[in-house]
Structure 1
Amino acid sequence: MATYITLANFTDQGIRSVKDSPERFLAFKAMAEQLGVSVKAAYWTVGNYDIVLVVEGTDEAATTLLLKVGMLGNVRTQTLRGYSEQEFRGIVGKLS
């Protein structure tokens, strides 16, 4: 399974109903589980981003999940593919 780190910001709609954010997260977790994506961590943050998520799943499932979340209109996301130390060692081990 691939690891993805998602940086999210509340939209105007999302911040107006910020009190609902913990419940929306539970719905997000349920949606993730239905798609076969595992939510490894979630943090509400201050600074440039409002939420940081770490999820694991196939490329297709993770992309589907994040597109579905975006369609709801509460957050805008940037997603990064993350590699564990072991995965990255394998990658750099193939360099000549």
Structure 2
Amino acid sequence: MATYVVLSQFTDQGIRTIKNSPQRASQVVEQAKSFGCEMKEIYWTLGQYDIVSIVEAPNDESLTAFGLALGSAGNIRTQTLRAFNNADFAAIIGKLS
């Protein structure tokens, strides 16, 4: 499974209904499963991003479909970063000449 860091910002709609955010997060955890993804962690944060999530997915396509479904609800806008752990990155570096 690939790991992704998803940075989210509330939309106007999302901030107007902020009291529902914990409940929506639980629903998103279940929704992720329908795309073959797993929400490993969800953090509400201070600063430029309102939520930071760690998601595992079998491939980019599954994560993208999940992200599109999530965005279409209208509560958040996201930026997604592909993340590599130490072993994965060492294997990538090992391919350099």
Structure-2-length-normalised TM-score: 0.96
CA deviation string 1:61-89 (max 9, x = no partner)? 11111100100110000000000100000
Residues in 2 aligned to 1:22 and 1:85: alpha-carbon distance in whole angstroms:
32
- For 1:86, the equivalent position in structure 2 comes to 87
Residues in 1 aligned to 2:30 and 2:2: alpha-carbon distance in whole angstroms:
19
Residues in 2 aligned to 1:78 and 1:26: alpha-carbon distance in whole angstroms:
20
Residues in 2 aligned to 1:68 and 1:39: alpha-carbon distance in whole angstroms:
14
Matched position secondary structure for 2:52: strand
Q: Which runs of 5+ in 2 are unaligned?
A: none
Residues in 1 aligned to 2:12 and 2:48: alpha-carbon distance in whole angstroms:
15
Q: CA deviation at 1:35?
A: 1.4
Matched position secondary structure for 1:76: strand
CA deviation string 1:4-47 (max 9, x = no partner)? 10000000000000000011111110111111101111100010
Residues in 1 aligned to 2:61 and 2:92: alpha-carbon distance in whole angstroms:
22
In the alignment of these two chains, the number of paired residues is 96
Residues in 1 aligned to 2:77 and 2:90: alpha-carbon distance in whole angstroms:
32
Percent identity reads 50
Q: CA deviation at 1:59?
A: 1.3
Q: Which amino acid aligns with 2:90?
A: R
Q: Which runs of 5+ in 1 are unaligned?
A: none
RMSD value over aligned CA atoms? Answer: 0.6
Structure-1-length-normalised TM-score: 0.97
Which structure 2 residues correspond to residues 48-87 of structure 1 after superposition, within 5 A? 48-57=48-57, 58-87=59-88
Runs of 4+ in structure 1 off by over 6 angstroms are none
